[in-house]
């Protein structure tokens, strides 16, 4: 299900959305999103036709665009595109919609935008049995957002080849996923997820200042858990603290909360009850 956003830039007149065939070509080979990964994206989860955390995803799209100095996206048009995709996928219990904004074809004063959605694969095994994870260095210190902002840490840019390479490295090591660490010994994030640990009864996640994306799923999970009386905290997390965690999750929009059952070959306890509670609450979100 594909909807083209002919004018994705804020404040420019343009044609409305166009629903087109997804198996036909629509993007020029000179598009900087393709040739240089020069663009930003979001993947929004959809539950029975309802986009989840859409406001937070749109805000993050605008934040990423600002970090890449792209023209500010027209969030109204991206919202409408997402709703159209979500409506077309309403029969599926869960689906996703990817929003893309690129710098457009090289040498042209325009941007490229689209929303593309599909029915989700079944993540129940990962959510119940858990995943095996390895720590891998991200190669940067945790002050990268201020010491080297041009490295665009914390922007959800289209340049995800490195994230995919890290996942292949995890597979070579017999694992399913990755927790990136900084060169100065801090926990960062997964290649497509936010890290959440339970330490001494408190649910903890690293801050965006460490160069990680503000995770929409983690933010909603913390809000839902806090409303049920759980203690939550966002603070820098040392890599050594991973060994002290009595539960660990990777959270993201489509897989939701995947409990970690093994970290660097060492077993980690899975709190099946709390994991199911988090995933049920996340799946029940109506916005």
Tell me which residues touch ligand PLP (CB under 6 A): 43, 156, 189, 191-194, 213, 215-218, 251-253
Residue 264's region, left for phi above 0, alpha for psi from -120 to 50, else beta, is: left
**CB closer to ligand PLP, 74 vs 189:** 189
Tokens matching residue 209: 């200042």
**Could you tell me the smallest distance in angstroms from the CB atom of residue 108 to ligand PLP?**
28
**CB closer to ligand PLP, 156 vs 198:** 156
Count CB-CB contacts under 10 A for residue 209.
14
**CB closer to ligand PLP, 182 vs 217:** 217
**CB closer to ligand PLP, 108 vs 280:** 280
| 211-to-155, 203, 219, 239 alpha-carbon distances in Å | 9, 20, 16, 15
**Could you tell me the smallest distance in angstroms from the CB atom of residue 79 to ligand PLP?**
16
**CB closer to ligand PLP, 210 vs 268:** 210
**CB closer to ligand PLP, 253 vs 279:** 253
**Could you tell me the smallest distance in angstroms from the CB atom of residue 11 to ligand PLP?**
26
**CB closer to ligand PLP, 17 vs 282:** 282
Tokens matching residue 8: 């994705």
Nearest to 130 by CA among 279, 281, 280, 230: 279
Tokens matching residue 36: 């240089």
Rounded Cα–Cα distance for residues 184 and 187 (Å): 10
**Could you tell me the smallest distance in angstroms from the CB atom of residue 253 to ligand PLP?**
3
Report helix, strand or coil for 236.
Answer: coil
* 244-272 CB burial, b ≥16 within 10 A, e <16: ebebbbbbbbbbbbbbbbbbeeeebebbe
Work out the widest C-alpha separation in the chain, in whole angstroms. Answer: 56
**CB closer to ligand PLP, 145 vs 218:** 218
**Could you tell me the smallest distance in angstroms from the CB atom of residue 73 to ligand PLP?**
16
**Could you tell me the smallest distance in angstroms from the CB atom of residue 3 to ligand PLP?**
20
Report helix, strand or coil for 24.
Answer: coil
DSSP β-bridge partners for residue 99: 42, 115
**Could you tell me the smallest distance in angstroms from the CB atom of residue 41 to ligand PLP?**
9
**Could you tell me the smallest distance in angstroms from the CB atom of residue 107 to ligand PLP?**
30
Q: Which helix (H) or strand (E) holds 247?
A: strand 247-252
Rounded Cα–Cα distance for residues 56 and 219 (Å): 9
């Amino acid at each position: 299900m594909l909807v083209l956003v002919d004018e994705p830039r804020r404040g420019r007149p343009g044609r409305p959305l166009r629903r087109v065939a997804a198996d036909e070509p629509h993007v020029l080979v000179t598009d900087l999103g393709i040739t240089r990964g020069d663009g930003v994206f979001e993947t929004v989860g959809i539950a029975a036709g309802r986009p989840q955390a859409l406001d937070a995803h749109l805000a993050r799209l605008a934040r990423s665009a600002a970090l890449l100095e792209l023209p500010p996206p027209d969030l109204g048009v991206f919202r409408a595109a997402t709703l159209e995709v979500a409506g077309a996928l309403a029969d599926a219990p869960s689906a996703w919609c990817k929003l893309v904004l690129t710098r457009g074809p090289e040498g042209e004063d325009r941007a490229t935008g689209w929303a593309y959605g599909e029915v989700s694969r079944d993540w129940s095994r990962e959510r119940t049995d858990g995943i095996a994870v390895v720590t891998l260095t991200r190669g940067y210190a945790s002050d990268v957002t201020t010491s080297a902002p041009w490295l665009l840490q914390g922007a959800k840019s289209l340049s995800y080849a490195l994230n995919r390479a890290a996942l292949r490295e995890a597979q070579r090591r017999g694992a399913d996923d990755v927790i990136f660490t900084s060169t100065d010994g801090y926990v960062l994030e997964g290649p497509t997820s936010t890290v959440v640990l339970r330490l001494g009864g408190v649910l903890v996640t690293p801050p965006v200042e460490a160069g990680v994306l503000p995770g929409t799923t983690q933010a909603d999970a913390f809000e839902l858990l806090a409303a049920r009386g759980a203690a939550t905290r966002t603070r820098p997390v040392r890599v050594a603290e991973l060994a002290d965690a009595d539960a660990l999750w990777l959270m993201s929009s489509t897989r939701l909360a995947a409990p970690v059952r093994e970290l660097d070959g060492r077993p980690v306890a899975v709190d099946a009850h709390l994991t199911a509670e988090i995933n049920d609450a996340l799946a029940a979100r109506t916005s």
